[in-house]
Structure formats: C-alpha cells, structure tokens
Structure 1
C-alpha cells in the first residue's frame, strides 16, 4: 500500500476518536434537543462540554461557537450570512485573495452577482498576502475581509493575526478560513478574528463536522457579527444553523482537537523531520519549491519537478506515495492550479505543481529514496 501523503485533503480518523464517536452513536445516543429524559440530558451535557473545550482552543466563549458540517458550510454562513447587513447598510465592498479555497471564492462570486464589489488580491510568487496591501484597499464601505489561515495547496501561512489586530480599530469584519491551520498554529487563532471556520477531518476527526467561531466586538454598538441564517428549519445554534446536532461527530471533533493539542509538539517535530528527509532525497532531481518557505506549515510541501508531467508522475508513484496536484475539491479537472496561477508562476510550473502533505506517524515508512528514483526515471537528463 502506498504511503498516504494527502492529509491536506483529509486525514484518517484517529482510533481514539472513533471509539468516542461509536460510544455516542450506540450508548449515549440521545438527541441533545430532547429535554424530557436522561438520554437527551446526557447528550446536551456532552455537547456543552465539547463546545466549551473547542471554543477555549481559540480563546473564544462557548456561545461564540456554532457547530456546522465543516469549513465549507462555515464559510458560506460567514460570507452569505453577512450579505443582508451589507445590503441594508450600503457596505458592499469585500476584500479577499485569489488563492482562497473554492468554498470562499464561489460564495463571493455569488455575492458579486448580487451587486457586491469583490477585490481579489494576488500574493506574488511568495504566496503570502501583505497586510499593508489589504489595509490600503480598505474603504468606508468595506464590509469584510476574508483571508485563509494556511493555503491548502502550498502550506503558506497568511498573516491573519496581524491583520486582525489592524482591522479591530475599523468597522470592517474579518473572516478566516482556518481549515488547514486549526490545531497546527493555535496562537494565530487567538487573535481578535471576528469569524473563524474550522474543519474536523483535517485533524483526525470524522468528515461532516466543523464549527464557525463568531466573536463579539464589545466596542461596537451591535456586539455580535450581524449574521442572518442561510438555512431554515429550527432554532438550533442560536438560529444560525438549523438541524439536529450530530452529537457523535461533535464529541469526535472535541476528542480530535484534544489529542492534536496534547501531541502537537511531537507532530511538529516529526513533520519537520520528514520534510528534511524528503527535500534531501529530491536533491537528486531538478525541482522548485512553490511558496514562501519562511512562512510555512511543516507538513505541506508544494513542488514542481522540472520537465515532468505531474499527472504522469502521480500514476508512476501510485504504489509508493499517494499525493495530489492540489485541492481535492478540484482534482477531477486537470486544469492548472488557480493558486499557483494567482502567484504569477509560469504556466509550466502552475500546471505541474505537486502537493505532498503528511501526518508524521502515518508517513514514517515513506521510502524517500525510492520516490526520488522514480522521479529521476521520468526526468530527461539535462
């Protein structure tokens, strides 16, 4: 079996998490909204404990966290849910980056069709957006800045904490898609970010669970971000996200976050060690690294192998390493990466970017020398 190197797409559920999920599916299986019996009471208490723990990981209050199906839904609630306020107040200007995930770009394209003006900033070859460039674009009618925490293709860390501190003195809200950064860079997300989207399946939790942090601003007349629901059918989650709470998944998310927090030092050390091994092995071939390596998470590496077709290489590596060309959400189409293109990289580079991403303990058996040998067979001699 090939070594799995695509954790930016999804991770294996930790067995300790699976045990928790199974318990809440088969033993404490009550509906957290049921108030007339002990099954519902236990489920409600469990959800409250999970809410308190998860909110505390980003220095938020428990009632500032709502559970969702994942970062995509959280992004949609944050962006589309703020739109009515923007329309009502005449604040229709939004700033974002051209390297965002499709779960941000497509809702914003929808808002552009409703009369919003969206500025798509390009980061240059570093893949990192400048805080100064964002603040220079601010206008009296700027409603929102939406900037991802960690890019899902390059692993480049965006300066969201600094941006949050700058924007706090303005009426402009900040939304951060933290699908790739949650758990890995905890101090960044304790900054005064108005809205944070979280995904569970990037840290060993099941697919189908996430959260949206919606912080208060005590210095504003309306302390809460003025979101409106985008779905209807119940009063759960303060009326912003209707539907029966998936208690087993919520408890699994909390357990996964707890494990990741406890084991993060070992994860980081292992991730850096594997990165070093991989880069040393690749020294035997001609390649370039895509993205600013001074601001990078340790477990994602994006490279372009010179004179080698990325899709052909993935096929050749299928028994050695499971890797990707970019976001799993767009992998069915073999178009050049919109992220690498937005960075202004040459077409042959953007068309052949490869993303390696790993959990150290699951990738410890990676045969880096064999991987480099296969690459060298495809690469013409210079």
Structure 2
C-alpha cells in the first residue's frame, strides 16, 4: 500500500474524531441556534464546550474565538475585515512575507489594488523571517503585520511569539496563519498575538472547519468588519448555521493531539532522522533552515532530477507533493522557494515530504531512497 507523505496538505480524520462527528450528525443533530427544545440546547452546549477548549489552548477566552470553514476564510476575515478600519485611520501599510500561503498573499494583492502599501519581506535561503526585518519596516501608518507560524512547504518555524511581544505595545496588529503550527507548537500561540487562523484538517479533524482567534488588548478588540451578512452568529463576524458535528470534531482532534503530543513529536523526529540518514546516499539539498523546522515537514531538491517526473516514478510507493496543495496543480516554480531567493532550478524542483507517524510505520525508508537514487543516476546518465 502506498505510504502517505503529504500530511501538510491534509491528514486522515482520526477514527475517534470521526465517531464524535458521526454522533453529532446522526444522533444529536440539533441546530445550535434553536432555543425552543433540548436538541438545540445540547447542540449549543457542545459548541460552547468546544469554544472554551480551543480558546483555552490558545491562552484566550471563549468569546475571542470565531468558528469558520478553515484557515483560508479566517485569513480573509482577518485581513480584509481590518481594511475598513485602516482606511478610516489613514493606516494603509501592511507588512508580510513573500513565503506566505496564497490564502494570505491573494487577499493582500486585493488590498494593494485598493491602495494599501503591502511590504513583503524576502527571508533569504533560511526561509526564516527575522523580527529585525519586521521591526525595520514598521512605520507610523503600519496597520498590520501578517506572518505565518510554520511554513507549509519548508516547515520552517517563524518567530511569531517574539513578534507578538514586540508589537503588543504598538498600534500595529499581528495576524498569524497557524494552519500548520496549531497543536504542534502550542506555546507559541499563547503569546499575545492579535489574530490567529487555524484549520481542522491539518490535525486529524474534518475538512471544512477552523477558527479565527481575535484576541483583546485589554478591553479593546481588533476592529474587524464582517465580510458577510445574514445572521448574528459568531459575534456577527461569520453568519450562518454552525456546523456542530465539525466543531465537535475539531475540539476532539485538538484534545487528542494535546494528550498524545509528546509521542507524536518523538515519533515524527525519529522518522525524520531515519529518512535524512538514508538520503545521504543521494545528491540532495534540504531547503530551509533545518535547525528551525517542525519534525514532520521536509523540503528537498535532488540534483539533476525533475520533481514532477520523480513523483510519477514514486507514486506506487509514496504519495508526495511539490508544495502547497492549493497551488501544486500549476506546475510553476514554488513561490515559497522563489521568495527565499533560490534559483529556478531549485524552486522549480522542490519536493515536500510530510508525515504523521502513524501513516508511515510500514514504509521502508531504504527502499524509498534506493528508488530515488536509481532515478537520479538514470537522469544523470541521460543528461
């Protein structure tokens, strides 16, 4: 059976989570907005419990958490929702990075078309956005800094907790896309970050659910304008009937991840070590600072090898990708690797391996690397 090495794109729903989701779909199927019967009361209760649990894991209160369909929607609410306030205050400068997910870069492109000055930092080959680089760009009219927690292609961890401390006493807000870091690096997200986007399907929860944390500064909250209208749900920031089963599943997935975090981390580290050691027999380049990465994402380029051709060669053995699932169909050089200043022969042939330990237990790492090594030798011979 093909081993799954694309967990940064999505994860399998944990069977224990699926059981919870199914319960709230088929047994307890009430609408959390229904106030006239027990079905609605029970649904509302489980949503409130989930809100309390998830907000608590981010070091916040339940009133600060808004449920969404995932990190993409959360990013849009955070970025586009803050824009009217910035326009009213004459603060149109936004700092971000060239290695953000398209769910951040494309809303920023839209804001640029509306007259915002979007300043994208290129982090260099390390893939690490320094606090100093952000601080140097701060201006009196800087409305927002948006930097991701963990890069989805390289796995490089960004210094978001330190950024939060630097910005907390300034009028500049901080938004963090934590789709890849949520549950994996929990302490970072307890820092005073103003807005945090999370996604369920990266941690064993279903697709289609996530949240936006909108943290207060004292008594003040981030002045967001809703993008949609049609109901009073979710602090009037995100109208619509709440997906109770998905919300319950997200809370369960986060609970399980917290309980099993140490085991997950150690097993992910061990698999990475075996993989990196085996790759020593190939001509390989690891992309991004390997001293500042999560243990379950590895981005690499093989000398003289076309990444797409290699994926086809390996498809019976492993499922891998060239980068973000949202953009990998375009077959263009990775904007992340390009944003790190890497040449096109590397940016166009970056391969992302990402894993959850329970899905690679049966993978023979040496068999995988032998296949890669043979393919690389053939490519070199016919070059």
Report the TM-score, using the length of structure 1 for normalisation: 0.98
Partner of 2:162: 162
By how many angstroms is 1:334 displaced? 0.4
Give distance in 2, aligned partners of 1:285 and 1:118: 41
Partner of 1:180: 180
By how many angstroms is 1:352 displaced? 0.5
Is residue 2:297 matched to residue 1:287?
A: no
Give distance in 2, aligned partners of 1:294 and 1:280: 16
Any unmatched runs of 5+ in structure 1? Answer: none
- Partner of 1:162: helix, strand, or coil? helix
RMSD (Å) for aligned C-alpha atoms: 0.8
Is residue 2:316 matched to residue 1:304?
A: no
Partner of 2:246: 249
Partner of 2:9: 9
By how many angstroms is 1:284 displaced? 1.0
Give distance in 1, aligned partners of 2:118 and 2:348: 26
Deviations 1:4-38 (A, max 9, x none): 00000000000000000000001111000000000
Partner of 2:366: 369
Map residues 43-58 of structure 1 onto 2, 5 A cutoff.
43-58=43-58
By how many angstroms is 1:370 displaced? 1.2
Map residues 14-163 of structure 1 onto 2, 5 A cutoff.
14-163=14-163
Partner of 2:323: 326
Any unmatched runs of 5+ in structure 2? Answer: none
Partner of 2:220: 223
When the two structures are aligned, how many residues end up with a matched partner? 379
Give distance in 2, aligned partners of 1:197 and 1:368: 34
By how many angstroms is 1:294 displaced? 1.0
Report the TM-score, using the length of structure 2 for normalisation: 0.98
Higher mean displacement: 189-198 or 273-282: 273-282
Give distance in 2, aligned partners of 1:133 and 1:127: 13
Contact 1:320 1:367 in 2 (8 A): no
Partner of 1:261: 258
By how many angstroms is 1:376 displaced? 1.3
- Partner of 1:59: helix, strand, or coil? coil
By how many angstroms is 1:361 displaced? 1.2
Give distance in 1, aligned partners of 2:374 and 2:327: 28
